[in-house]
Chain A
């Protein structure tokens, strides 16, 4: 079946460097995407979202890029900090489809001091 997937299960970066976390999706009907951050012992926390009519969206230190041609989503974190260490999930949804979000497997980001 169609699913959301991640390219890398783990990512280790040096503090201050930029991080890029990738995600592939296969449901061409998906038109809304969200990145979540999950720290140990906590539930996923919304970071940033993007709709399919956009290819880039920026937040505070984060940027999401959407390439609909190859069904690829990425999350860029600028000047990565130790507090960014967490598992990051991408999720896809067909907007209006009763909130049936489908999540990827997650990427564990570790920031080295």
Chain B
């Protein structure tokens, strides 16, 4: 079966712009989590969605938001981009919030 698909793979944006990243989980998986990965901070939890509801949220500013659709696909949005938002954004899915994520390959966001 297909894995977790993230689009786009690479993105370059200018400071102040906004961006939307997409994640399609493994078929049947209802939980989708988002992580930000940077060399300095490592993997940091952004938020988790299950059945279109945000169940858990990390310590990121309100500029970072997300949503999940009825087909479990998820998007995350970052508004008013800052240089420090440059990172690899990873999406991971699991069956029902159970342990053992499957990660996508990520979206590499560069803010210039």
Give A contacts to B, CB under 8 Å. Answer: 32, 34, 36, 41-46, 49, 89, 91, 93, 95-106
Give 6 nearest A-B pairs by CB, closest first: A43-B103, A103-B43, A98-B56, A98-B55, A105-B42, A100-B56
A96 to B99, CA, bound (A): 8
* Cβ–Cβ contact A46 & B42, under 8 A: no
A36 to B94, CA, bound (A): 15
* Cβ–Cβ contact B42 & A106, under 8 A: yes
**Across the interface, which residues of B come within 8 angstroms of A49, CB to CB?**
99-100
A103 to B92, CA, bound (A): 13
Closest-by-CB residue of A relative to B6 is A43
A97 to B55, CA, bound (A): 10
**Of residues B48, B92, B101, which shows the largest number of chain A Cβ atoms within 10 Å of its Cβ?**
B101
Cβ-Cβ contact count across A and B, 8 Å cutoff: 64
Q: Min CB distance, B69 to chain A, in Å?
A: 18
Q: Min CB distance, B11 to chain A, in Å?
A: 15
Of the residues A97, A99, A104, contact of B94 by C-beta under 8 Å = A99
CB of B66 closer than 8 Å to a CB of A: no
**Across the interface, which residues of A come within 8 angstroms of B50, CB to CB?**
98
Of the residues B35, B99, B104, contact of A32 by C-beta under 8 Å = B99
* Cβ–Cβ contact B100 & A100, under 8 A: no
**Across the interface, which residues of B come within 8 angstroms of A104, CB to CB?**
42
A25 to B10, CA, bound (A): 33
